Copies of this chain bind each other. A is one copy, B any other.
Amino acid sequence: MRIGEAAEKAGLGATAIRFYEKEGVLPAPGRTASGYRDYTDADVSVLRFVRRARSLEIPLDDIREIVDLRTRGQAPCDVVRSVIAREAATIDARIEELQMLREELAQLSEVADKAVETLQGGDCVCHIIDVETAASR
């Protein structure tokens, strides 16, 4: 199949696939007589893996390593496992951070509502920002 179909099956953009190939993350696929990239179902499953891995925010360098091991028929399990562990920790930290930010935003919009109520537009120059900088202490 050509790149468009492979892209759709994998849930990626065609340009992203070309980019991954250029970056050495993906092996070069076959080509048709006219020079079009020609993907097999096996290729698509690799594409899909890359998409999944990227959606987990695993860096391309790590993905390249895993894909490389895979295509050379070696066991990427240990690599995958350590990457999984690392990513899990990263994601936990990220979630925690975002929850804190979310809470601050909620407070902020409360303050913003009050500021608007009490100040009625006119002289509201930067109260929200001031409160925000105060909150950042």
Interface residues of A (CB under 8 A from B): 45, 48-49, 51-53, 55-57, 66, 70, 73-77, 80-81, 84-85, 87-88, 91-92, 94-95, 98-99, 101-102, 104-106, 108-109, 112-113, 115-116, 121-122, 124-130, 132-133, 135-136
Contact = CB atoms under 8 A, between A and B. Distances in A.
B84 A108 contact: yes
Contacts of A116: 77, 81
A132 to B, nearest CB: 6
| This chain: copies in complex | 2
Contacts of A133: 45, 48-49, 52
Contacts of A76: 126, 128-129
B75 A102 contact: no
Contacts of A121: 75, 77
Given A84-B108, A108-B84, A112-B81, A125 B91 contact: no
Contacts of A94: 98
B106 A102 contact: no
B52 A128 contact: no
A80 B129 contact: yes
Contacts of A51: 136
Nearest to A48: B133
12 contacts: A45-B133, A70-B125, A73-B125, A75-B121, A76-B128, A80-B112, A80-B128, A81-B109, A81-B113, A84-B105, A94-B98, A95-B102
